[in-house]
Structure 1
Amino acid sequence: MSDDVLVACKLPHGIYLDMGKQRIKLNGIMQSGRVEAPFFMAPLNSVGLTKVPRDFWEAWIKEHQDFEPVKKGLIFASDKKKRLLDEADEKSDVKSGLERLDPSQLPKTLEQVQPGKL
């Protein structure tokens, strides 16, 4: 059994996990390598992946199981990368509320202001 687990994070810029004096930064969607121009949007099934020591992860998740991003399914882990990516596909509809707005799909009540026309 490996001493590490892979942790997936659907938050845009990741998050720091703290346990005692140890801190680990989880990569977010913006570090997934799947962000696409021109609006720097990632596919809905994108996740940031981070290798985390198993004992750290087990202690952290036990203490933070009621943390909203964990409860919503925005942070999850597995021993297998394929299993994580499959779970990310299943959770492609799960939103953090921090996603970028697609300028081509703005609400009709908003009006885009052209540069220099304020």
Structure 2
Amino acid sequence: MAHTASSARGAETVTVVCRLPSGLVLDLYDPEDLRTRAGSVAPVMAPPVPRASVRLAGARRDARFHARDNRLLGLGGHTQVDKAFWDAWVAQNPGYLPLKNGLVFAQARAADAQARLAECASQRTGLEGLDPNALPGVTPAHTAPG
């Protein structure tokens, strides 16, 4: 479920898909505050305070995820996010690798988000679990007869 500090009823939303297993927290900061902190003569030791935050559901929140199998390929959590927040967050984080690599993306309609997730279903994220029967460099221990 998305939680924003300034979500208005009836606001335009987008469906954000997060292919990271545990999801992601998107923080939006005041750009003027960040510039002031960066230009300060004395270092500011306290972390910046976000003006709004959204928690994205991860791939483990996909209805098709089964914990016993731990199969994440092709799965992604869906979260409704205020469009203005998403646009501002993307503008503030253009070089963020999960965004650039398509691990986090948004579509105007939920059906379009599901279709795009289906398109990238075979693309590995690098965060999928290893197959325990095919671990690289590991061979089963053979027991001696008798």
TM-score normalised over the length of structure 2: 0.68
Question: How much has 1:112 moved relative to structure 2?
Answer: 5.6
Question: C-alpha offsets along residues 47-94 of structure 1, whole Å, 9 cap, x if unaligned?
Answer: 100011111001001121211001111111011111111111111233
What is the root-mean-square deviation in Å for CA atoms of aligned residues?
1.9
Q: For 2:67 and 2:27, how far apart are their aligned partners in 1?
A: 33
Name the CA shift for 1:112/1:58 in 2 (closer, same or farther; >3 Å). farther
Which 4+ runs in 1 deviate beyond 6 A? none
Name the CA shift for 1:112/1:34 in 2 (closer, same or farther; >3 Å). farther
Question: How much has 1:24 moved relative to structure 2?
Answer: 0.7
Contact map agreement 1:5 1:79 (CA 8 A) in 2: yes
Name the CA shift for 1:81/1:112 in 2 (closer, same or farther; >3 Å). farther
Question: For 1:83-102, what aligned pairs fall within 5 Å after superposition?
Answer: 83-102=112-131
Give secondary structure in 2 for the equivalent of 1:24: strand
Task: Give ranges in structure 2 of 5+ residues lacking alignment.
Answer: 1-9, 30-50, 142-146
Match of 1:13 in 2: 22
Larger radius of gyration: 2
Q: For 2:58 and 2:98, how far apart are their aligned partners in 1?
A: 12
Give secondary structure in 2 for the equivalent of 1:77: strand
Contact map agreement 1:26 1:48 (CA 8 A) in 2: yes
Give secondary structure in 2 for the equivalent of 1:51: strand
Question: For 1:1-118, what aligned pairs fall within 5 Å after superposition?
Answer: 3-20=12-29, 21-42=51-72, 44-107=73-136, 109-111=137-139
Matched residue count: 111
Question: How much has 1:110 moved relative to structure 2?
Answer: 1.0
Q: Percent identity?
A: 32
Which structure: greater strand fraction?
A: 1
Q: For 1:112 and 1:9, how far apart are their aligned partners in 2?
A: 36
Contact map agreement 2:74 2:123 (CA 8 A) in 1: no
Contact map agreement 1:32 1:48 (CA 8 A) in 2: yes
Question: How much has 1:106 moved relative to structure 2?
Answer: 2.1
TM-score normalised over the length of structure 1: 0.83
Task: Give ranges in structure 1 of 5+ residues lacking alignment.
Answer: 114-118
